[in-house]
Amino acid sequence: MRLITLTAVALTGLTAALPAAHADDVAIVNLTGVQIRHNRNEFRSSAPDTVDPGPRYYIRFADNTMAHGVGGVLGLLFPNPTPLAQIMETLSPGSSAALNSVADNPSETHPFTSDPITQSGSSVFFGVTFTFALTITTGIAADDTAYFNLTNVTLTSSSIFLPPGYLLFDSGSVSVTRVCPADFNASGGAPDDADVAEFFTAWSSGDPSADFNLSGGTPDDADVAAFFHRWSLGC
């Protein structure tokens, strides 16, 4: 641990000497008109917008992503355009955290698919048990266009008199942004001392996010070396 600490100290203060990071490349997928509806799949592409291959991507739903309910339980819950995060929290508390994620691409090639996000829950609204489930997959096709794929949608209610209804997106988008893997704290800027501090916090606690060389094992000295190699490159 002393050697690692000395390494960190030796590198502290070198941030100003690092080369500037690449400007982030981003592809944006428009979600307007998407329906979250029982047994309905949705696919949207960023075409012609593309993103260059890279080792890491931030996947983020825009804050202005709004939807409203049409008919049934969802129509009563969300009669007007409502932020997607609020809808998710109403249906399944804590689920809105999935709207922002980080995906590593060790091969730095396309096509690339992020880990699918599966959401599900069951709650009672208006005396009716409402159940939902869905899978969201984002990725980048071989032609460098980003995509959003919605599958395995289940929306049911316990009453034939009050069906589940569905959600219709009024606005919003999901972006896939190529970023520097050494930007460990996801600030969006060039790697700096704050990224070093956050990496070592994760590393010392054995957090899987510090498995920087993606070996699949417990974070070790090899991950420290891999992190500082990227960090010293400034990208």
Mean pLDDT by runs of 10 across the 235 residues of the chain is 40 37 72 98 97 90 97 98 97 92 87 94 96 96 97 98 98 92 77 89 87 82 88 78
Same-domain check for residues 40 and 129:
yes
Q: Is 5 part of a structural domain of the chain?
A: no
Closest by CA position to 30, among listed 146, 129, 132: 146
Calculate the alpha carbon distances from 116 to 8, 134, 195, 212, 225 in Å: 35, 10, 27, 21, 30
> What is the reported pLDDT for 184?
81
Cross-strand pairs, 132: 121, 155
Q: Is 15 part of a structural domain of the chain?
A: no
Same-domain check for residues 128 and 219:
no
Q: Is 13 part of a structural domain of the chain?
A: no
Structure tokens at 22: 């690449």
Q: How many domains does the chain have?
A: 2
Q: Is 16 part of a structural domain of the chain?
A: no
Same-domain check for residues 81 and 143:
yes
User: Which of 179, 206, 221 is at the close of a domain?
Assistant: 179
Cα distance from N-terminal residue to C-terminal residue, the chain: 26
Rounded to two decimals, the pTM is 0.76
Q: Is 173 part of a structural domain of the chain?
A: yes
Same-domain check for residues 117 and 55:
yes
C-alpha to C-alpha distance for 54 and 109, rounded to whole angstroms: 7
Same-domain check for residues 175 and 193:
no
C-alpha to C-alpha distance for 91 and 101, rounded to whole angstroms: 20
**Range of the structural domain that residue 216 is part of:** 182-233
